[in-house]
Structure 1
Amino acid sequence: MIIGLEGFGSVWSLRLGSTLARTAFYNTTGITTDGKLRHRTRVFGQLRFNAVGGFNPDHIERNIGRVFEAGDLPETGARCLLLHHISNGPALPDYFLFAVTSDSTGGLDIERSGWKSDSVVLLSLSQFREQQEALLLMPAHSWIRGGLGRFVAEPCLDRPWRAFLLPN
Structure 2
Amino acid sequence: MNNYPRAFSHVGITVPNIKEAVKFYKEVMGWYVMMEPTEVLEENNTAIGQMCIDVFGEGWGSFKIAHLSTSDTIGIELFEFPQNVKPKHEFNPYQTGIFHFCVKDPDIEGLTKKIIEAGGKQRMPIREYFPGEKPYKMVYCEDPFGNIVEIYTHSYELVYSETYK
Same fold (TM over 0.5): no
Q: TM-score, normalised by structure 2?
A: 0.27
Structure that is richer in strand per residue: 1
Indicate the structure (1 or 2) with the bigger Cα radius of gyration: 2
Q: TM-score, normalised by structure 1?
A: 0.27
Higher relative contact order (CA 8 A, sep 6+): 1
Structure that is richer in helix per residue: 2
